[in-house]
Structure 1
């Protein structure tokens, strides 16, 4: 490992240091150290993508902290079989990769009855598997003794483990198992706003909330959190579900740093944590207000472009599996009536005005079954509860073979996000297509 090309190339370009504690920025890919870590560490081609940024930033942090050395032992949380596992394990004495590995888990990245075989299936050629162990483990209860590891890291796992008591339990456990001076490189979802999006199992954190959790657990973050973002166009916040719907196979369509969910803008950020010596010191937050203003200006511009004319929405964005149950592309039998949503678009913010919507259900030629489809339009602002703004009951496949199209308009205030939901109330339904289109008018 003395001739490690990655570490040698990074050393030749100098350190980034505590400036690594920051929010994702498309301009980071212009840094040669970043591209070196992507190519020589992760074994990937550089692309503007949030998960690549998180793994690369964490790898750089571990390298600069001196954690990637022959005698170091580390642990990864919620690691699935991400490429960072192999980049780290190949440069240390031993890495323990953990996740909620189980054959019945809802997380595809950890769904397996044989965790080690599952992870090793993603290993690059020539990888020395003796440096890696794989364990099913809840990151709130770390099954290792005190001071067992020189470093730890997690990539977009922290926000999924519950609520504040769960976050604190994990952080306290990390403090316990790290040796003095050990680094915890943690990436998670950071909001540009002042209030966290508190959705159990899928948080996005306000900076002050997150820093308070670290301090309560006895962990010290680096002195400054950099939240400023450059003027690169790729930093414009976009709805992630819309990005993936455009073409999931096209990496250029998935360029994404900041994401928008129901009017709330967030992005991945890296935190450099160590056990505090005494009371944790305050962390300065730089650039948040300017980044929030910039993101809002970009969002307004994109809304004008996106909803200025009819645009197709993903009808299965929040329930992707339902497409296979209701469309004859996959299903052979009609779906029976039930309360579970069939149609569930993302919450999108069209801007102030009237939002016109058209929903068209075309029945399959392979089914004569008819049904009643209950459609609802819901609106919400920020973290407020959604309210119904439109409802309709549509007759599907009556008469047989006839498509049903429903068009309506609802007023939308500035800052409001709208989504459509629908379930089959009576009968059955097998569709050839389900189409949702929307546009904003003055």
Structure 2
């Protein structure tokens, strides 16, 4: 077992099994947050197992050898805490936030759920129904659906292009045996990071975790921690195209965009600035042109999604179907203008301020501090200090932003549309 000091108040221990524990002591708070992060997500699934990570996320709260589903929720709620989980394309997280005195309970409950769930057949069937309802509910939310459609337009049949939840066609036939095999093969110590932040002592947290996982599937032979996810040179993106999904909706939902950059790209700080200038706030160009000046849409923004080896960049707008052409024309014009002429020094300064402010203000609670620790350890392999990150943003120049804008926004753009249109409505656009 090896323990190192990463920063003031931040310590990291690697257990012999390869499981990593990272904590941040914040003695000025009376709460603590803990998360069990597993370096497995929907992109790690075969087509037949699409949705397995998300299915498993549901099942791990359904009972262990020591606790029923009610026990798991009741024990945390009895002390005023909260627990939840989420699945992404590249990782899964199970977390709890409690009073500092109740951290031992949270450690025991979370570790028990992640390490020793039984995946009882009746629970598999119950959660199958819940997930199918979740998929159906998602299909009734066109504002969410259009983003999934756009991701598919960019990545096609690559795992990054598939739905995190899976589809009815993959969830309905998925067996308990398949899910359990996925669970036991993927949820192994070298792929797991347990992060905690709040009023805590690192050594105590390590002892609590070791006790909680003793005798479970996470109490394994020595192994080295898994490095952060390597770049997959096989990621391919599709040529620019337009895809329309016809829905009888009152509002049309569109995403216009193209491929972006990966998570470890040195230009990610410039991208944050560019995104804020283009569509990241009320002062952004798209918001001003489309909403403020013309009132064509209530919601309009730009965004980027970054993965280990790929990314995308898009502009979203929700508007009346009859206004789609005008909104698209304005969005394309703004993208073209920035690609050709760039942005101004004043806009860059404002964009940098927004990036720095959102980052620092986002670290005001123990949950966000815990997430920062885990993502730094698991996704980046390095914990950058807050001052270091702010310095990286400050170092972004006007030329950096404009060069990136030219690279990203000069690309042929793909378009995803969900609304009351047929597939020929955007021919030639």
Report the TM-score, using the length of structure 2 for normalisation: 0.29
Q: Which has the higher strand share?
A: 1
Q: Which has the higher helix share?
A: 2
Larger relative CO (CA 8 A, sep 6+): 1 or 2? 2
| Bigger Rg, structure 1 or 2 | 1
Report the TM-score, using the length of structure 1 for normalisation: 0.28
